[in-house]
Amino acid sequence: MRRFGLALLSLCLSGAAPAFAQSPPAGPVGDHVRAYVASVNSADPTEMSNIRDRDFSEAFNKQVSLRSFQRFSRNQRRATGGIDLVAVRPADPTASRVEVVLKDRLYGGLHGLALEFETTGERRITSVEPGATPAWSAELASPLPAKALAASIERMVARGCESDVFSGAVLVAKDGAVLVEKACGEANRRYHARNTVETRFNLGSMNKMFTAVAVLQLVEAGKVSLDDPLSRYADETWLPRAVSDPITVRQLLTHTSGLGNYLGDRFRGSSRALYGQLDDYKPLVQGEAPEFKPGTQYAYSNTGMLMLGVVIEKASGVSYFDYVREHIYKPAGMTRTDSYPMDQPVENLAVGYVYAPDQPYGWRENTFDHTFRGSPAGGGFSTVGDLLRFATALQAGKLVSPAGLKTLWTDHPPNGYGAGFTVQASAAGRIVGHDGSFAGISSQLDIYLDRGYVAVALSNQDAGATTLIGAIQSEVARVAGP
């Protein structure tokens, strides 16, 4: 999963210690834990700067600028209302990785976080990885009757809407029956157009699910093999064979190819109008080389998913956009989903907003941040209802076979990611799906494989969906039975 997320951590215990602790231990790790909690809860930029310099590793600070760290802390404080530590547990004998359960003050939901530390010296923080509450945390919350779940979630949504932390739409279903379907906020602040449950929201990286399903369909049709080299589908106008020969389709799907992120400085410094079709992205990919030997590590890669779009086009003989429209959206009944070019007057399309308290209106439109059109890596639009239809079609076997679903939903190797889908072992059971995060975009689909629930939150504000969907997970975990 992508790293540097929500906000809390802790460590450790010896073999004789209890399964979890209520507070961080004494020593360097405990100090770093307390400091990081303070960085999220504090509004003092100087304190955040001091914490970053003192409590995070040099390698982390090279990757995450002070401005990004301060913005992250500010946004998380706003999205959560602040955080409190609930429990901690080491994930390995050396306590170099720990699992944390925290509680947000806005919704009152429990959230999971994994923290990694240096193994020697000052034991500073090297990575922050948010996720579902771990399975061992199920005992931490009081039971909730199934009949009370919908009302509890509706109260959470109302709190997010009333505080202006959440703007968007939410849907929760059980065995196909909708329990909660709510929308709030404005799709367009210029014209005060309200969000509805039919509003189309930018999905961010959630499009990766559609790309992965399309690849598996082509595998099942005998047109692609997971072990095919990328060079079979992408010629040297994309990447030299020395780069593409060792990379397989499977590695692209599982983010183990070593490729990076084509949406870098060159993209940010160029006109968005340049990128409408997949071939238009060639200048952003040419010259890229794997950061490690393919297949040896996990590193979330937008370039890898873009290249899977090239695989789909070559194997199917049609454009990526036509393929997913005909083979995924249409059979699933997703009539309000597509990668719409941004110069088309698509009805009920939400504008994304970036929290900007230093600007006159307090918000900034993301119009000049995102792509002109979605891609295999993300950026398309959909509705909460269409995403429920997608989840239903997947589980019913309408899009890929059970064997294909196993490939998509198996964590290989263990890193919280399958093939185009996140894979979580949580207090609410196994959850698969994907999130999306970008300037003015926050989205997530959760499919509860053991419980029959589907939860979708789509927001046209920074971090609007993440905390809410996590709080919904914690409520589902409180309900006894399947």
What are the Cα distances from residue 121, in Å, to 54, 234, 285?
A: 13, 45, 39
Q: What is the separation of C-alpha 92 from the centre of its chain, rounded to a whole number of angstroms?
A: 25
Residue 425 tokens, joined:
């072992």
CA angle 109, 195, 104 (to 5 degrees): 15
b/e code 428-455 from CB counts within 10 Å (16+ = b): bbbbbbbbbbbbbbbbbbbbbeebebbb
| Residue of 76, 89, 88, 87 whose CA lies nearest to 39 | 76
The pLDDT value recorded for residue 17 is 32
The predicted structure's pLDDT at residue 35: 82
In the prediction, which pLDDT does 185 show? 98
What is the structure's pLDDT at 72?
Answer: 85
Residue boundaries of the structural domains of the chain: 28-140, 146-207+342-478
Indicate the pTM of the whole model: 0.93
Q: Which two tokens stand for residue 307?
A: 């290249």
Q: For residue 177, with 0-12 CB atoms within 10 Å meaning exposed, 13-18 middle and 19 or more buried, which class applies?
A: exposed
Instruction: Please tell me the distance from the alpha carbon of residue 149 to that of residue 4, in angstroms, as a whole number.
Output: 30
Q: What is the pLDDT of residue 26?
A: 61
Amino acid letter, residue 426: S
Q: What is the 3-state secondary structure (H, E, C) of 221-262?
A: CCCCCCCCEHHHCCCCCCCCHHHHCCCEHHHHHCCCCCCCCC
Closest alpha carbon to 338 in 379, 293, 366:
379
Bridge partners for 183 per DSSP: 169
CATH number for 28-140: choose from 3.20.20.80, 3.40.640.10, 3.10.450.50, 3.30.930.10. 3.10.450.50
Cα–Cα separations (whole angstroms), residue 139 to 20, 122, 412, 479, 480: 11, 33, 28, 12, 12
Which residues is 202 bridged to in the sheet? 381
> Sheet holding 110-117: strands in order across?
83-90, 97-104, 110-117, 125-131
Mean pLDDT per block of 10 residues along the chain (482 residues) reads 36 32 64 83 91 94 92 89 86 77 94 89 90 88 95 98 97 98 97 98 98 98 98 98 98 97 90 92 94 95 98 98 98 98 95 93 92 95 98 98 97 89 95 95 97 98 92 95 77
Burial class (CB within 10 angstroms; exposed 0-12, middle 13-18, buried 19+) of 255 = buried
3-state secondary structure string across the chain: CCCCCCCCCCCCCCCCCCCCECCCCCCHHHHHHHHHHHHHHCCCHHHHHHHHHHHECHHHHHHCCHHHHHHHHHHHHHHHCCEEEEEEEECCCCCCEEEEEEEECCCCCEEEEEEEECCCCCCCEEEEEEECCEHHHHHHCCCECHHHHHHHHHHHHHHHHHCCCCCEEEEEEECCEEEEEEEECEEECCCCEECCCCCEEECHHHHHHHHHHHHHHHHHCCCCCCCCEHHHCCCCCCCCHHHHCCCEHHHHHCCCCCCCCCCCHHHHCCCHHHCCCHHHHHHHHCCCCCCCCCCCCCCCCHHHHHHHHHHHHHHHCCCHHHHHHHHHHHHHCCCCCECCCCCCCCCCECCCEEECCCCCCCEEECCCCCCCCCECCECCEECHHHHHHHHHHHHCCCCCCHHHHHHHCCCCCCCCECCCCEEEEECCEEEEEEEEEECCEEEEEEEECCCCEEEEEEECECCCCHHHHHHHHHHHHHECCC
CA-only gyration radius of the chain, Å? 22
- Residues 58, 122: contact at Cβ < 8 Å? no
- CA-nearest of 302, 269, 268 to 285 is 302
Fold of the 146-207+342-478 domain: Beta-lactamase (3.40.710)
